Amino acid sequence: MRFHVLTLFPGAFQGPFQHSMLEQASRNGFISIQLTDIRDYTHDAHKTADDYQFGGGPGMVMKPEPVFEAVEDVLGGYSTEERAHIPVVLLSPQGEAFTQVLAEELSQSPAIVLICGHYAGVDERIRQGLATREISLGDFILTGGELPAMMVVDAVSRLVPGVVGSMENVTEDSISSGVLQHPLYTRPFEYRDMAVPDILRSGHHAEIETWRRQESLKRTLNLRPDLLKSARLSEKLTAEDLKYLQSLGYEPEDD
């Protein structure tokens, strides 16, 4: 999987991409992260990448020319057939919500181009004639698209085979499995009057799995009941799951 991140501030990515899982995945060849400085595609001595708004208004707007040229240069390294399957993503508060389902979809692409907006926003022609989709992390505003780009790279990278030691770890994660993850414990057995549930030390693996599943369902019902409808529609809930949830007071919504 190849990530092409287009940004006015490439230095912002040095720390997150040089540690832990992403650094190892890159070093081992499972992913490739290329940072492109949009200012390298400007055509004046001051490397101007933003300008005032037509019609007036507060804040500067990212110019279209350097962004178009940067994306075209990046995509120029791919065949016509490959380019047809490479999403050009604009990180924007106007975009569709970034979810695990979307991360899984993006992980099937041969590469991803991520455009980091900044200032008041980008020239509308970038949205109209360049981006193939827009992604938002939520209903809040950040100083730029750099942090969202980091999160997209991280979330998608985890789904690339080889990046995480065991794909079982990925499929059992919260959200990926359709429900939230069960409680996790490690040593010591007791800490500050809080003890590990006895079932986890019983050695009865079938009973442990039942306990974990029920705890996942209970936690999801209490904290993220909105996930249960999508889990039910995607057939990630068994009849036994639904029976247990209903014993806790869950009432399935009409589809």
Cis peptide before 16 (omega within 30 of 0): no
Could you tell me the residue ranges of all domains in the chain?
2-167, 175-247
Query: What CA–CA distance (Å, rounded) separates 36 from 157?
Result: 19
**Are domains 2-167 and 175-247 of this chain identical in fold?**
no
Q: Classify 165 as helix, strand or coil.
A: coil
pLDDT tens-digit readout, 66-102: 999 999 999 999 999 999 999 999 999 999 999 999 9
- Work out the percent of the chain whose per-residue pLDDT is above 90: 89
d(CA 229, CA 206): 27
Please indicate, yes or no, whether the overall pTM of this predicted structure exceeds 0.85: yes
Query: The domain 175-247: what is its CATH number?
Result: 1.10.1270.20
Enumerate the β-bridge partners of residue 16: none
* CATH code for the domain defined by 2-167: 3.40.1280.10
Q: Which residues have C-beta within 8 Å of that of residue 45, sequence separation ≥ 6?
A: none
